[in-house]
Chain A
């Protein structure tokens, strides 16, 4: 137990520091000087040279929700097909899913940038969402296929005999049975979208479509470095939803590794 605490010390120290700093006028190391709420002024007034925090938050939320929902929807459909349907080329699709996941996806940014420009989706939220989907879907499909694989074949056969089309089976039988897993996966996808930095940084340059992560990066650039108070406050603001979501659902989320099937 003690050794665990020692190992975890850096984490404990750094996060407590963040919280305390956001409410302090000044902080040297771990010692705060003066309590203040001034750091949190960005909640009311827009920061100079930046869009209002609320526009940015909205962009991040939109991005995260879109990513979460679409990854689960599109991914679970594909995962079902790979798990349960019989078609030529199934092996090819399965192995390419595995191979794509092993790809160094961010190194494709250069080419993705060009493709988006070609499609007219550069600097548009829809474009970045699609890119994030494309990069995350291979692994997602693989994981969700695992969930579907855990449902016994009999149930699928019974549903066919009961007269269901495959679409109906997916929607009314399979999805309800793997709901815990899908939900957990969706939450992870949401968090991944909320935290995404590199893609918006490269593909969403203009100020109005900025996400919180890019805003943070610009705040953290050298000139602002000294205004610890402001930067830590914005950090806490940004981190909080993710930590809350995670803390509330964590037992549920870690279920994802035990198969994700109900009943």
Chain B
């Protein structure tokens, strides 16, 4: 018993399909698959990145226009270091990053993950949806909600609640801007950590907790000795990732306090760059200076990502493919 070999049909089919295949196979497959992504990213990410550094070396601004600008070398950078606002902006950036990171992005996220891990039924799902709401809410609306929440009486909800406890009302965002900035950014940030930590906790074999019960460990001890050690890498990852996100995020601050109240009270580095370059804070938008500020952040970002690449053993993720031909 033999299977018929159908040379003729095969040959015809092969001839049709192989022209495209042969053209692509001559080293063309990687180019075809990567092409669109590479073009888009190169054009609108890489080129602007280089351009930012170049612009930072000029005094390009609305005043000079696109024809009368000059190269001023490190003039912008010198201006930054001599700026009276430098220390304040740096301090603000530090406060912003450290508080949000520790209290909310990691701290609150951990608590949420731990608390929801011990619930059963529909409850964990409900809370997860609830906590994802800030993240999927358009930033403009989210900012608005917080502003109204903190508004002065008779409109602000917070004032109303505090009023029932006898506390006089105020525009709370003006009174404690940092508390609100950290809180509202944190509520969004917490969801990221919450998901990552929840998955990590779910991966811990249940048996370990049973064994701990038999050994007489209290719930707190179990968390301390079983759960938390397993979360070391996720915590590290979330910290690393969110540090970079916080360093460069300013959208919510822009939409709530816009760096105020008053003069640069909550102005962080990235917002400062944005203001100088793209919004009419003082009239003359200075692209060059803004670009210099942005370039500093770029350098920081590069340094940080180099560290993370090393830290997360990037080499392991880049294993060679098992098929050698394309």
Q: CB within 8 Å of B: which residues of A? A: 1, 3-4, 7-8, 10-15, 17-18, 27-31, 74-75, 77-78, 80-87, 90-91, 93-95, 98-115, 130-131, 133-135, 137-138, 141, 153, 156-157, 160, 165-167, 170, 191, 194-195, 197-198, 202, 212-213, 216-217, 220, 228, 231, 235, 238-239, 242-243, 246-247, 250-251, 254, 257-258
Contact = CB atoms under 8 A, between A and B. Distances in A.
Given A12-B130, A247-B129, 5 more contacts: A1-B123, A8-B127, A27-B155, A85-B30, A250-B132
B137 A242 contact: yes
Interface in B295-312: 297-298, 300-302, 304-306, 308-309
Interface residues on B, range: 35 or more
Q: Provide the main secondary structure of the chain B interface.
A: helix
B38 to A, nearest CB: 7
Contact of B130 (A11, A153, A217): A11
Contact of A137 (B37, B125, B134, B183): B37
A81 B24 CA distance: 13
Shortest 6 CB-CB contacts between residues of A and residues of B:
A29-B160, A104-B248, A102-B305, A107-B294, A134-B44, A111-B48
Contacts of B249: 106
Nearest to A188: B136
30 contacts: A4-B112, A7-B108, A7-B112, A30-B157, A78-B34, A78-B37, A87-B326, A90-B318, A102-B304, A103-B45, A103-B49, A104-B294, A107-B273, A107-B294, A109-B278, A111-B51, A131-B44, A137-B37, A153-B322, A157-B323, A165-B24, A165-B25, A166-B24, A167-B24, A195-B136, A195-B138, A212-B138, A213-B138, A246-B129, A257-B195
B232 to A, nearest CB: 18
Nearest to B30: A87
A100 B305 CA distance: 9
Interface in B173-205: 183, 187, 195-196, 199
Interface in B203-249: 244, 247-249
Q: Provide the main secondary structure of the chain A interface.
A: helix
Contacts of B78: none
B77 interface: no
Nearest to B137: A239
A1 B119 contact: yes
Given A111-B52, A131-B44, A99 B24 contact: no
Contacts of A112: 44, 48
Interface stretch (B1-9, B94-102, B140-148): B140-148
A77 B43 CA distance: 18
Contact of A8 (B40, B130, B301): B130
Given A108-B294, A165-B17, A238-B141, A29 B314 contact: no
B157 to A, nearest CB: 5
A156 B123 CA distance: 41
B15 interface: no
Contacts of B132: 246, 250
A191 to B, nearest CB: 6
Nearest to A4: B115
Interface in B138-170: 138-141, 143-146, 148-149, 153-157, 159-161, 163
Contact of B55 (A87, A111, A231): A111
A17 B127 contact: no
A220 B301 CA distance: 33
A247 B122 CA distance: 13
A255 to B, nearest CB: 10
